[in-house]
Structure 1
Amino acid sequence: MKFEKGYSPIRAYSNTKVANILFTRHLARRLRDTNIQVFSLHPGVVQSSLGRNLSFAHSLVSMLLGVLCKKTNEGAQTTVYCALEAKQDDEHHYFSDCAVGYTSKLARDERAAKKLWNLSEKMVGLQ
């Protein structure tokens, strides 16, 4: 998850999503013997004003894609589902469209999750 070949917005976005899943996976492991559940999720492509400061070309693409995007209340459904109904087990921490979502092999790597956790602790001075 490094940028040896330079910065790529898509690669950066993908890496943050994998890191979110890995972090959640390790947090769930640490909280296993409690009644606390943790989830990571994908709300879908949601219409929002996040792209309001993008270039004209990006704005045009956003407008065209807006027809295919979820409304904000639709995008919130998986978050609501996780808060009210989802059940976590040792394998299922990631949800999409109110169901267990597919994760890459990297996002299921326990060693990578532990490594990210340790690095995070070190970066915020908790180690």
Structure 2
Amino acid sequence: MIEQLTVFLENEKGRLAAACQTLADAGINMHALNLADTADFGVVRMLCDTPEAASGALKAAGYRAAVTPVLGVRVPNVPGGLARLLSFMDEQEANIEYGYCFSVNDDVAIDVLKVDGDSGIEEKLTAAGFEPVRPEDIYELD
């Protein structure tokens, strides 16, 4: 599992920019960002180089932030790459709460999934030929 930074922002102009500036000022590098909205809040999910330090910097600036374990899996960056992974997850009866993807290059994408339960899913993925992302592949261990 890898660690994702989750930040809750008021749905107001400039809040995302201010949160990102807070991270920049703290020397935190973001690798991926996903933004979803609700009626009152935006939910920002990101991968960054130092998730615990990022959470601390945001909390010190008055933001609601938390570090959440998520599953990252490398898949071929081709049509059907995600579908194959999701079919496998369905066969394992894994409950996926949410997910997002990003391309690393023309050949590889990383799919990030919040999976409910099944602490052995990484081993099952590896045995099935998938490549889970290791923490040291995404961020500095802090």
Which interval holds the TM-score relative to the shorter structure?
under 0.3
Structure whose alpha-carbon radius of gyration is higher:
1
In terms of fraction of residues, the more helix-rich structure is 1
Q: Which has the higher contact order (CA 8 A, sep 6+)?
A: 1
Scaled by the length of structure 1, the TM-score of the pair is 0.27
- TM-score, with length taken from structure 2: 0.25
